[in-house]
């Protein structure tokens, strides 16, 4: 595992905010069950995803296919219950769109923000009409997992120094 001392020395992405960006839940799923379950901690595997999740790919996840994150504040705003956005990590405290094209650390796991994770018709079928319009460009992000490690509820998210 890489030396994390430089990460610990960094300031949170949202420096000066009372509650730094944190993981508030971890939701995993497995087909064909459309429901997700919540865990307190999960092993992240570089280039493959979260163990036990429907998107885990032992042969290698496509770019941005290893991890999804969503802002809990937006989930609350659009009135969805926890886990209903189908994103793995609801987080609190910062705009995720700012992580696109940047490295960050979720707990002990290094990640890279690849693209926006736009809402789809499947999400609309599982939730309610109009959810696509409510979440366009703010439904979370897709990320790559660059290093193995654990992600736990309460973990801080840190931006890699420039």
Return the domain boundaries, the chain: 5-159
Evaluate if residue 6 carries a pLDDT over 90: no
Pairing of strands 49-50, 109-116: unpaired
Architecture of domain 5-159: Beta Barrel (2.40)
d(CA 88, CA 68): 5
Rounded to two decimals, the pTM is 0.85
Helix (H) or strand (E) holding 158: strand 157-159
Evaluate if residue 2 carries a pLDDT over 60: no
Evaluate if residue 5 carries a pLDDT over 70: no
pLDDT confidence band for 140 (50 / 70 / 90): very high
Which of 129, 18, 40, 24 lies closest to 79 in space, CA to CA?
129
Q: What is the dihedral of CA 106, 104, 24, 123, to 10 degrees?
A: -110
């Amino acid at each position: 595992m890489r030396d994390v001392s430089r990460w610990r020395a960094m300031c949170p992405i949202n420096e000066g905010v009372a509650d730094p960006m944190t993981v508030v839940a971890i939701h995993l799923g497995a087909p064909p069950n459309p429901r997700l379950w919540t865990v307190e901690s999960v092993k992240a595997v570089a280039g493959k995803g979260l163990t036990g999740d429907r998107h885990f790919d032992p042969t290698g996840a496509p770019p941005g296919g290893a991890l999804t994150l969503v802002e809990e504040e937006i989930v609350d705003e659009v009135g969805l219950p926890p886990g209903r956005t189908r994103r793995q990590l609801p987080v609190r405290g910062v705009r995720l769109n700012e992580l696109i094209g940047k490295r960050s650390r979720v707990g002990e796991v290094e990640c890279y923000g690849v693209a926006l994770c736009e809402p789809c018709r499947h999400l609309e079928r599982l939730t309610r009409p109009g959810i696509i319009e409510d979440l366009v460009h703010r439904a979370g992000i897709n990320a790559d997992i660059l290093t193995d490690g654990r992600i736990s509820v309460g973990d801080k998210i840190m931006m890699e120094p420039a």
